Amino acid sequence: MPQPPREVDRRVARTRLALRDAMLALLPSAGWDELSIQAICEQANVGRSTFYLHYQGKDDLLSDSFAGLRDHLTSQWGQGPAPGLGMLGGLLDHMAEQRAVFKAVIGQRSGHGIASRFKAMVRELVDLELKAHGLTTDQRHWLACYLAGGIVETMAWWIHAPKPPSIREMERRLNLLVEGSIAMVSKP
């Protein structure tokens, strides 16, 4: 008989959160390529052996962090299709909260791998939302690629802009583009 899913032990959750927070705290100054597991462990106040109990390496920690963000954003959606993308507000809020991290990795050469994985996560989120709009798999695939690329590039622009618009204005403008794109693709 299958076992019900176990809740994550609170100590495990605290350790993983400490490691994620340490990684985020160090990224703006160290950059991804120079960020070491030892530095993450020191910042999180955990031993290397504890790190390796939870993760195989810093890429694994990054993947877990993206999975947590993806789960957080999907938990905030309403049911059924809504105008635009429901996850966009939360994604943009996260970008604003982690501005220093985004600035250190998005649009930077050393952050190319992170940016690529971030764009893949955004594409996955967009595809999930487009499914609620009744688009075919083919329509969703290429539209999700197009929209995710535009969203991530716009986020990179916002991070580096001297006088960027507000997050709510970014959300409004991006959702207008999303709604227009969905309407165009949905036409017979």
For 108-152, strand residue ranges (E) read: none
pLDDT band, very low/low/confident/very high, at 30 (cuts 50, 70, 90):
confident
How high is the mean pLDDT of the chain?
87
List the chain domain ranges.
1-61, 76-188
d(CA 163, CA 68): 30
**How many Cα atoms sit within 13 Å of 145 on the Cβ side?**
5
Q: Where are the beta strands (DSSP E) in 51-171?
A: none
pLDDT (tens digit, 9 = 90+) per residue, 147-186? Answer: 999 999 999 899 889 999 999 999 999 999 999 999 888 8
In angstroms, rounded to a whole number, what is the distance separating the alpha carbons of residues 121 and 99?
Answer: 18
Residue 2 pLDDT > 50 = no
What's the confidence (pLDDT) of residue 158? 92
107-130 b/e (C-beta count within 10 Å ≥ 16 → b) = bbeebeebbeebbebbbebbbbbb
**Using CA atoms in the order 174, 130, 61, 107, what is the torsion angle rounded to 10 degrees?**
-30
Write the class of the CATH domain 1-61: mainly alpha
Mean pLDDT of 50-59: 94
Does position 111 have pLDDT exceeding 80, yes or no? no
CB within 8 Å of 19: residues ≥ 6 apart:
40, 41, 44, 46, 51, 54, 55, 61
Alpha-carbon distance 115 to 36, whole Å? Answer: 19
Q: Kindly report which listed range (29-33, 75-79, 153-157, 174-178) carries the lowest average pLDDT score.
A: 75-79
- The Cβ of residue 164 has, within 10 Å, a number of other Cβ atoms equal to 15
Residue 1 has pLDDT above 50, yes or no: no
pLDDT of residue 110: 61
